[in-house]
Amino acid sequence: MIYSETPIDVRYAETDKMGVVYHANYAIWFEVARTDYIYKAGFSYADMEKAGIISPVVDLNIKYKQSITYPEKVIIKTWISHYSPIRSIYSYEILNENREVVSTGSTTHVCLKKGSNRPIRLDKSFPEWHEAYMKIHEETEKGIDRKL
């Protein structure tokens, strides 16, 4: 798999009354990690949005295996587990300081024309992005394992 690793310092404000990271923060961390992955691949959501395209989350899955508490540091490993010109699925593993997987998840995204909510094809609107993702997909299919 072609992946990125994004470090996150757990902030006190992200914890609940029990001192555990509140579950909704995992979705925020996934967004931070996904944006980092896209940046490391050479692209940005900001450029996409300037062109009038948005990429909303249409599905979110999170599995909690072990609690994370303040002031831990975690790493979010991110990769593309499915890609087509219409839909992308990003997968995530949250690793604790011992590099143990404490949570897993995925987000599914489509690209839409802003305002009309009409789906668009990434290969037509952003051919460079599509080509890069196709290359990543092909490398993953060949069993290549590397960090962006």
The beta strands (E) that lie in the chain are given as 2-9, 53-54, 57-64, 73-83, 87-95, 101-110, 112-113, 118-119, 146-147
In this structure, what token pair is assigned to residue 75?
């790493």
Catalytic status, residue 16: yes
Q: Which of 16, 47, 59, 145 is catalytic?
A: 16
- Are 25 and 67 within 8 A, CB to CB? no
- Are 77 and 5 within 8 A, CB to CB? yes
What positions carry a catalytic annotation? 16
